[in-house]
Amino acid sequence: ISTSVEEKDWDSDLAKYASPQYFTNNLLSSVYFEEGSRHIPKNAIVIEISPHALLAPIVRKSLDPDTDIIALTNRSKSVNNIQCLLEGIGKLYLNGYEPNVNAIYPTNEYPIPALVPSISHFLTWDFSVQTIRGLEMGSRKCWYKTFVLGVCSKPKYQHLLDYKIGPKFLIPAAGLISLVLDLFVSLNPAAKTVAIENFRTYECDMGVFLRGNCDVSVAITRVGGTFAISAEDMEDVWCTVNCKERILATGEIKLVAGKMKSNIPDWTTETLEGRLEFDACLKKLAFSSRGNQCVQQLSKHLEGFSADISSTSGRTFELVDSCLKLISIARSDDERTVVPYCIQSMVFNMEMIREYKQGQSVRVFYDPMDNELTSSAILMKTIRTKDILLDKLEPSKEYTSGTSSYWTSMKTAKLDDIDINYIGLSSQASKDETIVDFSGTMMSSGNRVMGIVSCVDSMIKYDRTLLWNVPSSWSMDQAVTVPIVYCMAY
């Protein structure tokens, strides 16, 4: 219904489009409010589209009082017209209509630059609740276990602090897995099969534990089995390190009905390398020699790797740690050392694990092609690894493609606490500068990011404008191939 032209001209371009001719006609010619209002039925919803809202008072006076008038613009300087438009769309929703709001938003073009706010909330673990308060208020919802880890920790937790790769201390993923598994099994002593899914470890500053003490908490929800392992500073007067609460690992744990089914492969053909020395392989990858005596036989087959693991201390940790070290040996090479940090699925046969603790050995098989570890006690599927970046005083000055020494320097520079997952190819910008792209996870927020840094001698240049969020449909190994190409294109 147009009140700017007569009814016979409603199908003309002058009536349908907001052209210069329309505004000129609207300013100089007569309007047809009375003629137009005759076409408005009772109990109607009227949307006024005009340079400024004039029809509302006329409609209210001349038509049915149940008629709703919605204006989309207002010429008053005190009114925010964007807010006026959105309020009009909201009134349509309240009246039962579903306008296409996507039409007012531009199409997303990836990659989206950094610092773009999200219009939806991410479901995350609430670590703002203190451990003691959670124990008092949430004991009916979660199972909790707390212990001290650091200078004053008990001997049974010392293996979590003595784990080294080269000069770098880190909390082993196997230690975090065994903490959750042992707590869950103690609460379910009749459990025969236990599964852990979506297990993920996070990097932390080991100096906090080596120079002071932290309260480590293991929390498992009773419904769903979601768990988190976190560490919080004890505020020890002897420790000058300020350690806020941080995440060490997350995942889900649950009981599985029946016995674990494992398809033990029949690998008989060994490669030319044949049997390997487990301890020698780990020393080559800069692993500490502590705790490597439980693997007696390591073999390399055409299909993958196998090993016999026997218990030396009666702990689940040794079995899980030996399995993860076997994966590290299979997926590392002469130029880099990798460790598992994310495992999609793990299944534990508790009866076989109890027999292992009593002295029975377990033979495990790892197939790199299927990315699966198989044994009678443990099954692991879809294991993701990341490079261990060893700290060095000076990076190499040989500017070659993908030089890992630059990344050790970048890791020393902390790089805004980005957990680097993949390292891309480097590009020599000049004789004295190398540009490298990477992808990783922001430790503070958990956002997946990709970006570019430049390396000059032992210096790292880091620019936040060269950091982008990774689209949800991309994998991290896909994202690492984008930053340099994206900057060259745009």
pLDDT score, position 420:
72
Q: Count how many residues are written for the chain.
A: 490
Q: Give the residue among 417, 383, 390, 2 at the shortest CA–CA distance from 166.
A: 390
Q: Is the pLDDT of residue 471 over 60?
A: yes
Structure letter (DSSP) for residue 454: E
Higher pLDDT, 31 or 288: 31
Q: Is the pLDDT of residue 170 over 50?
A: yes
Min mean pLDDT across 107-116, 301-310, 416-425 is at 416-425
Would you state the structure tokens that stand for residue 184, as one six-digit string?
């869950």
Q: Is the pLDDT of residue 80 over 80?
A: yes
Q: Across residues 338-355, what is the average pLDDT?
A: 90
Q: Across residues 227-247, what is the average pLDDT?
A: 65
CB distance 461 to 415 below 8 Å:
no
Q: Cis (ω within 30 of 0) for the bond into 265?
A: no
Per-residue pLDDT band for 204 (boundaries 50, 70, 90) equals confident
- pTM > 0.95: yes or no: no
Residue 378 host element (H or E): strand 378-387
Helix axes of 173-187 and 316-331: crossing angle, nearest 10 degrees? 140
Per residue in 262-297, pLDDT (tens digit) is 778 877 766 656 567 777 787 777 776 566 667 777
CB distance 220 to 239 below 8 Å:
no
> What contacts 287, CB < 8 A, 6 or more positions away?
164, 165, 325, 328, 337
Q: What is d(CA 172, CA 340) in angstroms, rounded to the nearest whole number?
A: 10
Q: What is d(CA 464, CA 449) in angstroms, rounded to the nearest whole number?
A: 11
pLDDT score, position 295:
79
Per residue in 350-367, pLDDT (tens digit) is 999 988 888 888 989 998
Q: Across residues 181-193, what is the average pLDDT?
A: 90
Q: Is the pLDDT of residue 4 over 80?
A: yes
Min mean pLDDT across 56-65, 174-183, 318-327, 427-436 is at 427-436
pLDDT score, position 35:
83
Would you state the structure tokens that stand for residue 285, as one six-digit string?
């990858």
Per residue in 92-145, pLDDT (tens digit) is 888 888 888 888 887 777 777 777 776 655 555 666 655 544 444 445 577 878
Main-chain phi, psi angles of 123, to 5 degrees: -80, 115
Q: What is d(CA 40, CA 33) in angstroms, rounded to the nearest whole number?
A: 11
Q: Is the pLDDT of residue 177 over 60?
A: yes
Q: Across residues 376-380, what is the average pLDDT?
A: 92
Higher pLDDT, 217 or 237: 217
CB distance 433 to 454 below 8 Å:
yes
CB distance 312 to 294 below 8 Å:
yes
Q: What is the mean pLDDT of the chain?
A: 76
Q: Is the pLDDT of residue 387 over 70?
A: yes
Q: Is the pLDDT of residue 396 over 70?
A: no
Q: Is the pLDDT of residue 18 over 70?
A: yes
Higher pLDDT, 392 or 315: 315
Cα 389 to chain centroid distance, Å, stands at: 20
Q: Is the pLDDT of residue 460 over 80?
A: no
Q: Is the pLDDT of residue 394 over 90?
A: no
Would you state the structure tokens that stand for residue 393, as one six-digit string?
């005083």
pLDDT score, position 127:
60
Per-residue pLDDT band for 253 (boundaries 50, 70, 90) equals very high
Q: What is d(CA 479, CA 469) in angstroms, rounded to the nearest whole number?
A: 9
pLDDT score, position 458:
41
pLDDT score, position 241:
45
pLDDT score, position 137:
45
Q: Is the pLDDT of residue 413 over 70?
A: no
Strands 433-442 and 418-430: antiparallel
Q: Is the pLDDT of residue 235 over 60?
A: no
pLDDT score, position 251:
92
Other Cβ atoms within 10 Å of 15 Cβ, number: 17
| Rounded alpha-carbon distances, angstroms, from residue 81 to 19, 84, 89 | 20, 5, 12
Let me know the angle formed at the C-alpha of 240 by 237 and 241, rounded to the nearest 5 degrees.
120
